[in-house]
């Protein structure tokens, strides 16, 4: 029977509010070397790098933890450890509903553990010896923030917590295990375990994308919610919080633990359980008795809604749930205004605007909120510089809504003076910002670029997006890169589109991305991939058309998945697979009818494409009916159609490209 030594460590702070989860993850390093063998390897590596023996075990393992090193030192360490790692299992993403960092971390740990016992290489009767790095006291706490000043070495509560954690995790993983493994689990300080130290260095390889060291040894697993894992994989007697989320809500409300009650309500609501909205109102009313609790409750709600919108993936119903929650947020808004917490207000505005934008609304009440706030002077914000930056952020929040209503010129009229003013401030003889990037400037440039692209001023748009990319911090560069691909695709500039696609992916070329396409691939990257593939086919370039069986993925997302289907269908038709292409376009059209005004407009080019290919009168009738309804409901869209009457006229001979491109910028 095989022996498997598993060390588990993490990267990031698992901050629960307003994060994308890109740099917080749990990582397990699996090896068949013993803990003693690993420590011997670290001792040899220490001597190689320091030129002397280590004084004690603490100095030895501490040297390899949480240190900034040169690339050369990292290369030395990674090169010497890569063969020790049999496989790395890494958590991906985060649970939808979070209450604190520990919740996210524990969900990551459990997701990784569950994946490990499912690995094919680990067989019945094998031994799993798991070493989990302990957590510092200031992040310990399952459902509420529970800060204490105890040090790791002296805190009795810290020791007791890890004893409970160790026992609970061991019982749970044995219940999950279907192979009858011999499982041992130890919570140990990172600098006391060679196994955890190996995991720490594996984190470095994963975080730095060192595929040259780990290659295909990295296995990613989605981060599920630990309570859901307990409920699904434990018996009813192991569920101390009750068999329903509603019961758990009521129990914690009785204890005045409103943050935990809110967490369970949100979990049930997004899981489509029949949980009363009145319970949500009662929770928020109870939380309002303490300002800090009320603000934290709002942060949890906003974080959940924003994460659902930003990571909607394959679940369109997730977005529908956010839409249904919006009226409750509006009802609570007056209470927040009374707190005069400007940053919280701006967070609410941003989420409400995202809801309207994703739904395709042409107006949004948040614009009235923003205007009302600034008419009162915004004096609650400290310095003049802070007020200016906050003013920019709030004006940017509402900029996307006019795009939905085809009011592109008004965005240019509002944003260009702000851009001019901000650039003048940046050119003052004293430093405006002690930073190498300016995200406010980048956002202004990006918004002006979108307005230019929507108005078909493509060269102006390219100039703005290039400057946007140059001024954006690393985490935001993919967006202007995506915009560049969209504009260059319209100009049919294949080489430049490929170059910017590589910037959008962070290093993967157009062709290499195509070889790794899967249902979990980023949907915006997939859209641009298929757009570039269509260009390659139209220009008869020597590119292999990789088009997966998208139908089998059974994704029912309302947006942007239909745009993936549209451009994949185009590529299929150019590959001689017209029937499959028609099926994808049909599916895309049906999915788009679930959205608001702007989402529905995306069906117009799809119906034109279907008519061009099939000449079916049913598609002709559907197109004319939809166009009539949409032009009647939005005067700016009606004006756009009238100014582009030739594009919107049905013509079976116009060709797929012209049919596909009747809408502006990224609406195509």
426 exposure class (CB count in 10 Å sphere: 0-12, 13-18, 19+): middle
What is the reported pLDDT for 350? 82
DSSP 379-437: TTS-SHHHHHHHHHHHHHHTTHHHHHTT-HHHHHHHHHHHHHHHHHHHTSSS-S-SSS-
> Is the Cα torsion angle 499, 503, 507, 509 positive or negative in sign?
negative
Count CB neighbours of 186 within 10 A: 16
CA–CA gap between residue 98 and residue 15 (Å, rounded): 9
Q: Is 27 helix (H, G, I), strand (E, B) or coil?
A: strand
> What span, in angstroms and rounded, lies between the C-alpha atoms of 668 and 663?
5
Report how far residue 5's alpha carbon sits from residue 32's, in angstroms, rounded to the nearest whole number. 6
Cα–Cα nearest to 415, from 428, 432, 431, 398: 398
Task: For 443-465, give the DSSP string.
Answer: HHHHHHHHHHHHTT-HHHHHHHH
Which tokens hold the place of 497?
Answer: 């589109």
pLDDT at 638 (0 to 100): 94
Q: How many whole angstroms separate alpha carbon 42 and alpha carbon 54?
A: 10
Residues 6+ apart with CB under 8 A from 496: 484, 488
Q: Which residues does 87 contact at the CB level (< 8 Å), separation at least 6?
A: 30, 119, 121, 217, 218, 219
Angle between helices 71-81 and 35-50 (to 10 degrees): 150
Q: What is the pLDDT of residue 100?
A: 72
The whole-model pTM stands at: 0.69
Mark the ranges of the chain whose per-residue pLDDT is less than 50. Answer: 18, 20-21, 140-154, 210-211, 232-243, 314, 434-435
Asked if residue 364 lies in contact with residue 352, where contact means CB atoms within 8 angstroms, the answer is yes
d(CA 160, CA 477): 45
Strand ranges, E, within 12-51: 25-31
Vertex 200: Cα angle to 196 and 203 (nearest 5): 135
**What pLDDT score was predicted for residue 232?**
41
d(CA 664, CA 453): 7
Question: What is the rounded distance in angstroms from the CA atom of residue 133 to the CA atom of residue 66?
Answer: 13
CB 494 within 8 A of CB 532: yes
Supply the pLDDT for residue 331: 80
pLDDT value at residue 139: 53
Residue 329, pLDDT score: 81
Q: Give per-residue pLDDT as tens, 580-596.
A: 999 999 999 998 987 77
Which residue in 198, 229, 211, 181 sits closest to 27, CA to CA? 198
At the topology level, CATH places domain 3-233 in Nucleotidyltransferase; domain 5 (3.30.420)
């Amino acid at each position: 029977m095989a022996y498997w030594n598993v060390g588990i460590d993490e990267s990031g702070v698992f901050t629960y509010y307003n994060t994308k989860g890109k740099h917080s993850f749990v990582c397990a390093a699996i090896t068949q070397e013993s803990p003693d063998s690993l420590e011997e390897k670290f001792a040899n590596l220490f001597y190689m790098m320091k030129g002397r023996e280590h004084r004690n075990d603490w100095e030895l393992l501490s040297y390899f933890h949480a240190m900034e090193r040169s690339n050369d030192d990292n290369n030395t360490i990674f090169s010497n450890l890569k063969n020790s790692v049999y496989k790395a299992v890494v958590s991906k993403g985060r649970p939808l509903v979070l209450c604190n960092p520990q919740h996210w971390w524990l969900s990551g740990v459990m997701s990784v553990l569950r994946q490990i016992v499912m690995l094919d290489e680990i067989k019945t009767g094998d031994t799993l010896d798991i070493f989990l790095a302990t957590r510092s006291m200031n992040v310990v706490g399952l459902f509420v923030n529970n800060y204490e000043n105890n040090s790791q070495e002296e805190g009795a509560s810290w020791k007791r917590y890890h004893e409970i954690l160790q026992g609970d995790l061991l019982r749970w993983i044995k219940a999950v295990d279907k192979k009858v493994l011999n499982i041992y689990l130890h919570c140990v300080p990172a600098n006391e375990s060679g196994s955890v130290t190996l995991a720490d260095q594996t984190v470095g390889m994963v975080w730095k994308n060192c595929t040259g060291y780990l290659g295909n040894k990295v296995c990613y697993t989605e981060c599920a919610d630990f309570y859901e894992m307990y409920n699904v994989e434990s018996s009813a007697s192991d569920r101390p919080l009750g068999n329903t989320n509603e019961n758990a809500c009521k129990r914690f409300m009785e204890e005045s633990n409103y943050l935990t009650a809110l967490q369970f309500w949100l979990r049930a609501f997004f899981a489509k359980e029949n949980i009363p909205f009145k319970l949500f109102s009662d929770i928020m009313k109870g939380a309002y008795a303490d300002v800090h609790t009320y603000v934290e409750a709002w942060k949890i709600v906003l974080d959940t809604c924003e994460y659902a919108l930003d990571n909607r993936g394959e679940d369109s119903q997730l977005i529908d749930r956010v839409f249904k929650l919006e009226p409750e947020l509006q009802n609570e808004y007056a209470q927040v205004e009374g707190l005069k917490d400007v940053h919280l207000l701006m967070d609410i505005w941003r989420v409400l605007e995202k809801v309207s934008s994703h739904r395709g609304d042409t107006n949004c009440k948040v614009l009235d909120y923003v205007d009302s706030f600034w008419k009162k002077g915004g004096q609650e914000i400290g310095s003049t510089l802070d007020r200016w930056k906050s003013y920019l952020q709030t004006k940017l929040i509402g900029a996307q809504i006019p795009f939905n209503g085809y009011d592109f010129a008004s965005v240019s009229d509002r944003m260009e003076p702000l851009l001019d003013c901000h650039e003048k401030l940046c050119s003052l003889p004293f430093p405006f910002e002690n930073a190498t990037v300016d995200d406010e400037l980048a956002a202004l440039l990006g918004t002006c670029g979108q307005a230019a692209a929507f108005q078909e001023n493509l060269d102006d748009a390219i100039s703005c997006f290039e400057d946007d990319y140059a001024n954006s911090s690393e985490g935001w560069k993919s967006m202007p890169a995506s915009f560049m691909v969209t504009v260059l695709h319209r100009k049919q500039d294949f080489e430049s589109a490929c170059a910017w696609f590589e910037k959008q992916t962070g290093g993967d070329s157009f062709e290499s991305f195509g070889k790794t396409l899967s249902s979990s691939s980023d949907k915006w990257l997939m859209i641009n991939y298929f757009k570039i593939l269509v260009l390659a086919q139209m220009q008869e370039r020597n590119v292999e058309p990789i088009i997966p069986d998208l139908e089998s993925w059974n994704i029912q997302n309302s947006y942007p998945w239909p745009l993936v289907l549209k451009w994949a269908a185009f590529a299929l038709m150019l590959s001689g697979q017209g029937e499959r292409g028609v099926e994808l376009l049909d599916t895309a059209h049906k999915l788009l009818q679930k959205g608001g005004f702007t989402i529905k407009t995306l069906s117009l080019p799809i119906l034109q494409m279907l008519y061009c290919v099939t000449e079916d009168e049913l598609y002709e009738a559907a197109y004319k009916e939809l166009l009539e309804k949409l032009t009647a409901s939005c005067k700016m869209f009606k004006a756009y159609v009238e100014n582009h009457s030739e594009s919107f006229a049905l013509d079976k001979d116009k060709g797929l490209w012209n049919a596909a491109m009747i809408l502006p910028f990224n609406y195509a």
